[in-house]
Each structure stands twice: as structure tokens, then as C-alpha cells.
Amino acid sequence: MINFAQTFIDALSLGSLYALAALGIGLLFGILRLINFAYGDLITLGAYALIIPSTEAVATLFIGGWPWFMVIIAVAVIVVAAALLSDLLVFRHIRRADPATLMIASFAVSFVIQNVILMFYGSRPKSVDLWSNLNYQIAVGGLRIPLLQIVTILATLVLMGGLTLLLKRTALGIQMRAAAEDFRMARYLGVRGNLVIGLAFAISGVLAAVASLLLLSQTGTLSQTMGVPLMLFAFIATVVGGMGSLIGAATGGFAVAFASVFLQAYLPDDLRPFRDSFVFGIVILMLLFRPAGLVPTKALVERV
Amino acid sequence: MLEVEDLAVSYGGTIALAGVAISVKEREAVCVVGPNGAGKSTLLAAIAGGVPPKRGRIRFDGKDLVGMRAENIARLGISLVPEGRHVFGTLTVEENLFIGTYAMSDRRHAQSDAEQLLGYFPRLKERWRQPAGRLSGGEQQMLVIARALMTRPRLVMVDEPSLGLAPKIVDTVYETLLALRAERGLTLLVNEQSSDRMLKFSERIYVLRNGRILLHGNTADLQDGEAITRAYFGFDEHDISATSEAAA
């Protein structure tokens, strides 16, 4: 029972991280039909922003040494700026392009960000000690829960709550939902296309910034591809959840994390190295039997 | 009020409009009739800024609309109700109705306008907090018309309001459009596939086929429907193009 509860909390914490990233990807997809593979690199960029740019092996904290709320704000500003810049320089010029073209363009943006990071920071992974006191473990009953897991889950709940309020209760949020469902119709009614798109990039940037801080405090290692696996799992999460649905993206994030963590815990020992094959196997079955995802959206069908 | 000259639009290699000219005067009700695929929807979408023209001019109050963004054209006072209704299905009826006033941050008249419009569409009031996707086809059509009027447009363009609706509901839709027009001094530009209703409803009719205007005239002069039928089905091309020039 203790073992199960421990695994459950692990899954919840990993799922939070996936859900954050999946929401960022899902939001952009909903409005722009852009599957942004550069999203993982925004997460990487947020982590690198913490240290002084140098190619030396030892990382020197820059923003990372500031008080925690300043760190969050500064990293969010930097990642949001990068996200908006990627729209301004690349995606804005191919608004009418089909989703495949947009996706390929996002691969290009991804490579550019990775190589810019290589240029300024060198290719060696660096270890960074961010918020190491979060590794402190709290004993609850027989459970030992790292503070970081609780922070991850809480941060995700706060962001998801904030996002829900924004989308449901504010004039801008309602316009975003309308635009996500039927972009052209929204513009016929006066909704400013570039405003809602800019806002979507900005929100996805905030989510990426928080994801990068949580990821870095977990792993403690910087590398120029550190965001890629998270992006990949988050993308799978949006597919499993149903492309175009935000509730689906969050649900998908948790679903993928639970599958992954529970397989890790309960697979026979000699099968554990193949955990991801089992996860992807489940995803394939899911796509075969429920191709529209856990939370199907009508909007997607109508747009095509 | 609205002048369209020599408007041409293509999708890829397919020509949708091949040099169309129409004009609409203030407070007129004008109808564009034509078979499926004639280019009617493209015409309205081009005016509303939804598809870029290949050539031609579109003027609204003397202002050139070509190249303008759809959201800015909406702000000039042109509202399009596209074919197929396009409600935001996951948004509530209320959210659907207010979207335009949110977008234009003009909420002074929003509440009173909404109440007045709900007087015409009492069914919407009953469904106020429900997702618009759950409404019936007729209710959705009423919602999109009410939604288009919330920003107080001067020109309302309606693309095939009768599509997929029972005749009785279509009658209601048209009666409401006419009543709203009288009350608010609206100018209407409406597309339809069939001309019968149009002859009662509008002052002038254009017949559009294969991306060209084949006939244009006052409704009063076309009451027997003979010329429209010929233009519509494409008999006597020479004869009709002569008529169309005379009418223009």
C-alpha cells in the first residue's frame, strides 16, 4: 500500500510536469494549428538563462542566484520574449500555411535555439544547483515525499487554475477560446488575430518557463537538448488527450505519466528497461481504438 | 455604400470569381442568387476580408477594403454570417453573443442590445448558459444572426441562411431579418441558392454563376422569375449577357 501511494505521488508529480508542457503545446495548436517542436528548446532556454553565458565546464549562477520569485519572473520574461520572437520572425510569416509546414518550421526554430545555446554555452552538460533544499523529504505516515514533488504538483494546480480562470472569466480568454475553435469566424466578429496568437505564445512561454525551472531542480543538469524528451512526452500527451482540447492535454499529460511511472514500478525486472516501448505501445493502441483522443474536439474536424 | 468592381479570386488554380461587380446602397436589401459552387460564398468572404482577391476593388463608404484584415473590416461596420452557421460550439450562448463586443471593447450598448435581440429570439434566452453546440440548427442560425448584430454593424451579409433548415424556420429567419432591418436601418446582402424567397425579400437581385454575374435587376422587374431561371440554369448565354448589360 505504501509502495502504491509512493508510486502514485511520483506519477502525479511527473504528470504535472507533462501536463504543464502539454498545455503549452495544446494552446498553440488550438489557435494556430502549430505543433511547436521548438517548445522543448524554450524549456531548455529557460534553464540556461539561469547561468552566466560561458563555454566553461563549471556553471556560474546568474539569475539562478536571485530570490525565488525573482527567478520565476525573470525566466518567464526571457522565455516569453523568445516565444514571441519566434512568432515575429518565423511563424507570423506563414500564418496561412498548412499544419505540416508549420511543424517543419518549428523544427527549424528548434535547431536554431539549440545551436545558439551551443554557441554561447558550449556543448558540455553542466551541473546546476537550483533550489536544492527542495530535495528535502517530508515523512508522512510511512511515505517519504520530496518537497519538490509537492511544489511541482502545487505549481501545476495554480497555473492550471489561473489558465482556467483566464479562459473562462475574462473577455480576452473568451476571445481566445473562440479563436481556438474557429479562428476565421472569430476574426469576422472583430477578434484581433495577432492579439490572441501573441497571447497564446506568451502563455505557452510562461508554462515553459515554469516547466524548465521544475525540470532543472529535479535533474540538476543543463544540456542543450534537455527540453526535448519533455517536449516529446508532452506532445504524446496532447495526442492521447485529443489535439485541440486543453482539458485533454492536461489529462493526457497525467495519463502518460501514470502509465510510465506505474510500468516502471510494476513491470517484471527484466522488462523494465523497455518501459517506454510499453508506454508507446499503449499510445498506439489508444490511437487505433480512440483516434480522436480522450477528449475529442469537434473544432478540429470542422477546420480541416 | 458598398462597391465591388472587377473582383477576381482563385483558390490554387481554380477560379472562384472572374471579375464580379456589385453595388449595395445604404438601407437596401440585395440578394445574390446562384447554384452551388457559383462563387457566392467567396464573394461575401472576400468583402469581409476572409479570402484575398487576386484583383479588383472593394470599397465601403469610399474606403478600400482590399488587403485589410478581417477584424478591421468588422470594425468598419461590416458583419458576415457565414454559411454553415459557425457557432463556437464549446462556448455558451451568452459567450457567443458577446464575443464581438468583447473584441471591440465596446460594451456600452451590449446589455441593452442583447436584451433587445433576445426579444426576437426568445429561445436563446432559455439556452443562455448552455454550450452553443447543443442548440438545434434553427437556434444556431438565430444565434449567429444575433451575434453578428451585437457590434451594431451597418452592413450585414448573410450567406445562405436557409441552408439545412426547415422551411418554417427559414420563414422566421427572414421575417426577423426584415424586422431588424426596418428597426435598425440595416443594409442587407444575402446569398441564396433559390430565388423564390428573394423575390419577396429583396429590392435587387444578382444572379451569379461560374464566378460571373449573369443577370442583375430590380426585383420588381423580375417577378415572373423567367429571366432569373434562364440565367441560373445557363440557357441562352448570349441572350442573357445582353440582358445583364442592359440591367447594369
Flag whether B79 is in a domain.
yes
User: What is the arithmetic mean of pLDDT over B227-237?
Assistant: 68
User: What is the arithmetic mean of pLDDT over B185-210?
Assistant: 86
Tell me if residue A94 falls in helix, strand or coil: helix
Cβ separation B103–A299 shorter than 8 A: no
Q: Tell me the β-bridge partners of A144.
A: A139
Query: Which chain B residues are Cβ-neighbours of A182 within 8 angstroms?
Result: 86, 88
Cβ separation A181–B148 shorter than 8 A: no
Flag whether B64 is in a domain.
no
Flag whether B10 is in a domain.
no
**Nearest to A103, CA basis, from A38, A34, A22:** A34
Query: Which chain B residues are Cβ-neighbours of A188 within 8 angstroms?
Result: 48-50, 70, 74, 79-80, 82
The answer to whether A193 contacts chain B (CB < 8 Å) is yes
Query: Which chain A residues are Cβ-neighbours of B69 within 8 angstroms?
Result: 187, 193
Encode pLDDT of A189-247 as tens digits.
999 999 999 999 999 999 999 999 999 999 989 999 999 999 999 999 999 998 878 88
Interatomic CA distance for residues A233 and A212, integer angstroms: 14
Residue B237 clears pLDDT 70, i.e. is over it = no
**Cell numbers placing A5:** 501511494
The answer to whether A190 contacts chain B (CB < 8 Å) is yes
| Ranges of H-type helices in chain A | 2-32, 39-48, 68-89, 99-121, 147-169, 171-181, 183-188, 193-219, 228-241, 246-266, 275-289, 298-303
Predicted local distance difference test score (pLDDT) of residue A298: 57
Distance (Å) of CA A180 to CA A97, A193, B81: 16, 11, 18
SS3 content of chain B, % helix, strand, coil (to 5): 40, 25, 30
Residue ranges of chain A whose pLDDT lies below 70? 298-304
Residue B33 sits in a domain whose CATH number is 3.40.50.300
Flag whether B65 is in a domain.
no
Predicted local distance difference test score (pLDDT) of residue B245: 47
Encode pLDDT of B100-118 as tens digits.
999 987 777 888 889 988 9
> Could you tell me which residue, B175 or B200, shows the higher pLDDT?
B175
The answer to whether B94 contacts chain A (CB < 8 Å) is no
Predicted local distance difference test score (pLDDT) of residue A129: 85
Q: Which of A31, A184, A189, A192 to probe by mutation at the B interface, max B CB count within 10 Å?
A: A189
Q: What distance, in Å, lies between the first and last C-alpha atoms of chain A?
A: 48
Angle at B163 between CA B160 and CA B167, to 5 degrees: 110
Residue B225 clears pLDDT 90, i.e. is over it = no
Dihedral Cα A183, B85, B159, A179, nearest 10 deg: -10
> Could you tell me which residue, B6 or B85, shows the higher pLDDT?
B6
Count of domains for chain B: 1
Flag whether B226 is in a domain.
yes
Flag whether B62 is in a domain.
no
> Could you tell me which residue, B168 or A74, shows the higher pLDDT?
A74
**Cell numbers placing A81:** 520574449
pLDDT tier, B235 (very low <50, low <70, confident <90, very high otherwise) = low
Flag whether B213 is in a domain.
yes
Cβ separation B88–A190 shorter than 8 A: no
The answer to whether A176 contacts chain B (CB < 8 Å) is no
Q: Tell me the β-bridge partners of B208.
A: B213
Domain range for residue B112? Answer: 23-49+71-242
Q: If 0-12 CB within 10 Å is exposed, 13-18 middle and 19+ buried, where does residue A202 land? A: middle
Q: Which of B42, B99, B143 to probe by mutation at the A interface, max A CB count within 10 Å?
A: B99
Task: Provide the whole-model pTM.
Answer: 0.86
**Looking at this predicted complex, what is its ipTM?**
0.89
The phi and psi torsions of B19 (rounded to 5 degrees) equal 85, 70
Flag whether B13 is in a domain.
no
Distance (Å) of CA B210 to CA B14, B64, B198: 11, 25, 20
